[in-house]
Structure 1
Amino acid sequence: MGRVVHVIGNIQLDVLAGPVTALPRPGGDDVVERIAVRPAGAAGNVSLALAGLGVRHRLFGAVGDDQAGRWVAAELRRAGVGADLQVVHGQETGISIALEAPGRERAFLTAHGVLTNYGEGDVPVQACEADLVLLTGYFSIPGLRGEATAHLLQRARKHGAVTLFDTGWDPDDWQGGAVREVLELLPLVDIFLPNEPEALALTGEDDVERALATLVDRCGGWVVVKRGERGAVALGPPGDVVRISAPPVAALDSTGAGDSLAAGVLADLAEGASLPAALTTGVRLASTVVGRGSLDRYPGRDDLLAAVEADDDRVG
């Protein structure tokens, strides 16, 4: 039996439209190539990807009892990962609309719904009782920001868990107190998983490896920076830089790629792999997922793209 994995975070409905290069004019009705509706936010995406790999785990979060929530709950249960989902009566489900276009960063419109007030007291005690605990979608769960997340990470650490943390992008573009807020949480994190723009924003650096070094100093554990089509780069306490190149793939849908990378890392860590080895699987899984559509999104292990080599460099 592998190590016990728990995922805590935002579960919601995702709507994806693309390509979108501009908003319609007032009163207009622009036609785009595709609009997809699917479950289930960052935490749900990680969970569905883990389920695709056959990794037993538990998913903790909440949806409302509106039509969106009932559908998301049904899809998660169909995948075998909805047993711990809270469905809150009289509340609306969080929804994110992702606007995608080639050569541009995605943009999002989000209504948090039930996640606005989903707080520490709503997270079951057993959610932190695992060998590996991932808290993801931090900025999409306003009720868990700051002290509440600190308490969850502390509870997980007290139980002996390896803690993983993925914030997502700050909706205030890091202009408020978000930088200080996240940096204060990092000493409680064993593996931090920002993407490249997030890492640069958190550190004020313009170079990813300098940002890595700064974040490792604050975190004390591993920092993994997700770089999209360029794969990932990580730095750990021993001073080893690990660079994983992404295999070439014709990207159909990049939304949720970082969540799939986190799922691949968790899947291998659960089997006792080292972080560099697990990161290779994470990049393979993310690259595979972005080349698949919504109807057949999450692959099994036999369907992952070919492995890429990890380049470990010793730094002083």
Structure 2
Amino acid sequence: MAEQSLVCIGNLTIDEAIHGGINNGPAMGGDAAYAALAARLFLDDVRMFAPVGADLPSGLLAQLSAAGVNTDDLPTRDLPTVRNVIDYAADGSRTWHLQCSEADFDGMSVYPEDVPEQVLTADGIVLLAMSLPSQLALTPWLRARSTATVYLDVQEDYLDGNRPALHRMISCCDVFLPSEIEALALTGCSDIADAAAVLRELGPQTVVITRAERGVLLLTGDGPAIEIGVDTVDPLDSTGAGDAFCGAFAAVHVRTGNPVAAVEAASSAARIAIGAYGIDGLLAAATTTASAAASAAGTAATTAAGTSRRGVHR
């Protein structure tokens, strides 16, 4: 059976996290990178698809490639890389400060005209939070042109006043992965299980609601919602935890079809993500995974060659 393939579509960004009033400095981030690296921990054939800005740090794409992430045929933009400052409060809540215009952020998002044929032939596509116009354009376009399982993430900043359009977008995905805050805002429900049921009625076969330290609420098929607990750790930087969760969930789900196993894998990837600033923790873990796979492949090839030679001598 051929290995399943996954594409993670989103942004590349440079982020500065502020904890307790202390700015920890710029770190490479972006939902596409977090998701693709997390997916690579569980799946060999992973492609990242995100626009490349004019000032993207040199060497980043080579690092991602060394970690086993395919970065071929990325669209380029004559715009600076998106930068964010994320201010964390003592209770763990955060405020995002976009350091570019909304127009430039939209320009650094993916639109249908950017997407090559190779993306459409993947077994799974993770569509991560970008500008709202780009996601509203891209999600139904992908649904109409690909048989891939579509995994959809959103961001809470654009929810207000856009519920009907977002509901139409959600109807085009197979698996919807909102946070608890997003699920309640999208449905107007006060109960998270009710919110999950409303979201499933929009069309997704599976709804996966992340609830931070309270775990995950999973609703799939016609069955009841189930709660899945997660191990918690003290985060160093939780900026990309949700993106890592989405990527790892999609990787295991597209490979096995088992949403519970996918939640467990996704939770482990999120823990790796929050243990370092930016993508550094996931990059190190994925690079180790890729190196181990290459070593195993080399050993297998050597063994096969030896067996073949012995067969000739017989």
TM-score where L is the length of structure 2: 0.80
Q: In the alignment, is residue 258 of structure 1 matched against residue 245 of structure 2? A: no
Aligned amino acid, residue 63 of structure 1 = V
Aligned amino acid, residue 127 of structure 1 = V
Distance 1:248 1:89 in 2: 39
Aligned amino acid, residue 16 of structure 2 = V
Q: 2:52 aligns with which of 54, 63, 71?
A: 63
Q: 1:219 aligns with which of 203, 218, 224?
A: 203
Say whether the 8 Å CA contact 1:95–1:113 is kept in structure 2. no
Deviates more, 1:74-83 or 1:142-151: 74-83
Q: 2:79 aligns with which of 91, 102, 125?
A: 91
Say whether the 8 Å CA contact 1:69–1:87 is kept in structure 2. no
Deviates more, 1:283-292 or 1:207-216: 283-292
Q: 2:182 aligns with which of 178, 195, 198?
A: 198
Say whether the 8 Å CA contact 1:196–1:225 is kept in structure 2. yes
Distance 1:14 1:71 in 2: 17
Provide the residue aligned with 1:189 in structure 2. 173
**Cα distance, 1:18–1:3 mapped onto 2, change above 3 Å:** same
Provide the residue aligned with 1:135 in structure 2. 127
Provide the residue aligned with 1:175 in structure 2. 160
Provide the residue aligned with 1:164 in structure 2. 151
Distance 1:142 1:185 in 2: 10
Say whether the 8 Å CA contact 2:175–2:204 is kept in structure 1. no
Question: For 2:264, what is the secondary structure of its paired residue?
Answer: helix
Provide the residue aligned with 1:289 in structure 2. 273
Provide the residue aligned with 1:14 in structure 2. 15
How far did residue 136 of structure 1 move? Answer: 0.6
- Higher RCO, 1 vs 2 (CA within 8 Å, ≥6 residues apart): 2
**Cα distance, 1:220–1:141 mapped onto 2, change above 3 Å:** closer
Aligned amino acid, residue 144 of structure 1 = S
Provide the residue aligned with 1:306 in structure 2. none
Q: Which has the higher helix share?
A: 2
How far did residue 142 of structure 1 move? Answer: 4.6
Say whether the 8 Å CA contact 2:140–2:172 is kept in structure 1. yes
Aligned amino acid, residue 240 of structure 2 = G
How far did residue 165 of structure 1 move? Answer: 0.3
**Cα distance, 1:245–1:292 mapped onto 2, change above 3 Å:** farther
**Cα distance, 1:121–1:239 mapped onto 2, change above 3 Å:** same
Q: In the alignment, is residue 39 of structure 1 matched against residue 28 of structure 2? A: yes
**Cα distance, 1:74–1:114 mapped onto 2, change above 3 Å:** farther
For the aligned residue pairs, the C-alpha RMSD in angstroms reads: 2.6
Aligned amino acid, residue 43 of structure 1 = A
Question: For 1:86, what is the secondary structure of its paired residue?
Answer: coil
How far did residue 189 of structure 1 move? Answer: 0.9
Provide the residue aligned with 2:144 in structure 1. 154
Distance 1:245 1:74 in 2: 36
Distance 2:205 2:18 in 1: 37
Distance 1:188 1:101 in 2: 35
Question: For 2:150, what is the secondary structure of its paired residue?
Answer: strand
Aligned amino acid, residue 26 of structure 2 = V
Paired-residue identity, %: 27
Aligned amino acid, residue 14 of structure 1 = D
Question: For 1:224, what is the secondary structure of its paired residue?
Answer: strand
Distance 2:74 2:269 in 1: 28
How far did residue 223 of structure 1 move? Answer: 0.6
**Cα distance, 1:114–1:84 mapped onto 2, change above 3 Å:** farther
Say whether the 8 Å CA contact 1:249–1:288 is kept in structure 2. no
**Cα distance, 1:302–1:239 mapped onto 2, change above 3 Å:** farther
TM-score where L is the length of structure 1: 0.80
Say whether the 8 Å CA contact 2:37–2:286 is kept in structure 1. no
User: Which digits, 9 at most, give the CA deviation of each residue in 1:206-242, with x for residues without a partner?
Assistant: 1111100110111241110011111111111222322
Structure 1, gaps ≥5 residues long: 21-31, 304-316
**Cα distance, 1:145–1:162 mapped onto 2, change above 3 Å:** closer
Q: In the alignment, is residue 48 of structure 1 matched against residue 49 of structure 2? A: no
Provide the residue aligned with 1:28 in structure 2. none
Question: For 1:297, what is the secondary structure of its paired residue?
Answer: helix
Aligned amino acid, residue 17 of structure 1 = I
Question: For 1:46, what is the secondary structure of its paired residue?
Answer: helix
Say whether the 8 Å CA contact 1:62–1:114 is kept in structure 2. no
Structure 2, gaps ≥5 residues long: 290-314
Distance 2:63 2:18 in 1: 20
Say whether the 8 Å CA contact 2:61–2:71 is kept in structure 1. no
Provide the residue aligned with 1:311 in structure 2. none
Say whether the 8 Å CA contact 2:27–2:277 is kept in structure 1. no
Distance 1:279 1:103 in 2: 25
